[in-house]
Structure 1
């Protein structure tokens, strides 16, 4: 959408906002720098980077309230579950709304008059038109330009390729539990330092979040980044055939999860307004760190 706006195919936007969780892959930050330098700045479109902190550091800080990631849980009785996903709201949606209020001149807790609002573009394509929703606050009105153009995900890829951006990476936290095996392999095989980082984080969160443990409210069970609920550096992330996956499904997920998602994870990365995941396949437990 930024490129379409800069090129004049879509109207020129006033701002582009990137919500930084502090734990994106380095290729995402490099790509953002390139977009800003080559597309946004020449078109006169400011790129605003907002943040609510570093999600990795916060999860391991016993003094910090942690907005839970959707971690895979193996309970003491052998039952499986997931913790609730709060990270998108806390680390992406809230800082974006805060910035929008500032741009409108009504920082929280000031009341925003009914006739003051922003038009916010959300990059949902026709493949997922059912995910297009109205904003939940009156000072933001959602528009979905890709749907207006009739563009599918394939159309977006063709356009990006035509302007030299075929290598656009998915934006999501480095250690997002919704990664598919292909994404885990890519981190392991292309960036040893980042792989070591996510393996260490996976081990660090095994017994629950740091603040809950410090208060004596430990998780009854173990938490994992990978769906198999084994340590990440031991997880079955190497590519296997569909038949092999089918044979493993009963062991891993009671046969509930499709082979395609196990391999490729969430298709669209983690959009603030359309973050989707596999929670429908897993029973969701109470907050990460609760002992019951």
Structure 2
């Protein structure tokens, strides 16, 4: 029983392409949806679904976190209800575990083919897309992998020696567009350039991210906002001020360091 944990990013997409090229059987492809992926990721899922169907591979099974009452709860809803930021802002990874790992394991715990393997004392093979440049992640995961009694973790990209460039090449050779980065639109790990892109391309999503940050603000002590030691709101307001300055002044007429327009004023002596 071979299961793929699909993240809809470059590495995991290349891994699916490589498994198909090497005729490695895939029985189940799981995508854990936290409910806050950016639009390009949800669009790419449809693209990948078509490619998988055309190449005789199973479709993508979407899973997500549910409460004890069986109701779906997105990471955004959880943050708003609890008045907190995603756990990675505090240096923890529980948001990924709760909304990515747990839903996949819960699905497999009720998936009959997996149950059949475990009933016979075997392990389900789970393929994970760490590329050849991510040895540190593998080293960190190894102790847990060795203790896992239910899954045999496999890292095909590392086995093939595929780095990021190899993954990109494989995706393009398969006739697929590149998927772009997969992350929640309010992820504290986003770089400033990615925040700028979100602000300009998806202003409604950016507003929802600020709502999470503003809602958590009264409860923050060790961090200042979604940027950990800085707030997204402060960042974008600083960007707006800079843009306003550039609209008022020409490139040759920007304020100097003393905040006076034009040439530096004369100094005594």
Matched residue count: 212
Indicate the SS of the match to 2:87.
Answer: coil
Q: State the match for 2:27 in structure 1.
A: 14
- Does residue 95 of structure 1 match 2:103? yes
Cα displacement (A) at 1:163: 2.7
Cα displacement (A) at 1:181: 1.1
Cα displacement (A) at 1:207: 2.0
Determine the C-alpha separation between the residues in 2 that align with 1:89 and 1:114: 28
- Does residue 32 of structure 1 match 2:33? no
Cα displacement (A) at 1:45: 1.0
Determine the C-alpha separation between the residues in 2 that align with 1:229 and 1:32: 33
Cα displacement (A) at 1:3: 2.2
Determine the C-alpha separation between the residues in 1 that align with 2:103 and 2:225: 27
Q: Answer yes or no: is the 8 Å Cα contact 1:188–1:195 preserved in 2.
A: yes
Q: State the match for 1:199 in structure 2.
A: 210
User: Deviations along 1:180-226, whole A, 9 cap, x unmatched?
Assistant: 11211121122222222212222122123xxxxxxxxxx54664101
- Following TM superposition, where does structure 1 have runs of at least 4 consecutive aligned residues deviating by more than 4 angstroms? 104-107, 219-223
User: Deviations along 1:1-26, whole A, 9 cap, x unmatched?
Assistant: 222233x3240210110011011111
Q: In structure 1, list runs of 5 or more residues that go unmatched.
A: 72-81, 209-218, 239-292
TM normalised by structure 1 equals 0.64
Indicate the SS of the match to 1:224.
Answer: coil
Q: 2:60 aligns with which of 18, 39, 47?
A: 47
User: Deviations along 1:148-192, whole A, 9 cap, x unmatched?
Assistant: 111111110111122343431211111110111121112112222
Larger Rg: 2
* Structural RMSD (CA): 2.9
Q: 1:5 aligns with which of 13, 19, 23?
A: 19
Instruction: Report matched runs for 1:177-192 at 5 Å.
Output: 177-192=188-203
Indicate the SS of the match to 1:138.
Answer: coil
User: CA separation of 1:189/1:163 partners in 2, compared to 1, >3 Å: closer, same or farther?
Assistant: farther
Bigger fraction of residues in helix: 2
Q: State the match for 2:166 in structure 1.
A: 155
User: CA separation of 1:34/1:183 partners in 2, compared to 1, >3 Å: closer, same or farther?
Assistant: same
TM normalised by structure 2 equals 0.69
Instruction: Report matched runs for 1:90-239 at 5 Å.
Output: 90-104=98-112, 112-113=118-119, 115-132=121-138, 133-134=141-142, 135=145, 136-208=147-219, 219-220=220-221, 223-230=224-231, 232-235=232-235
User: CA separation of 1:162/1:203 partners in 2, compared to 1, >3 Å: closer, same or farther?
Assistant: same
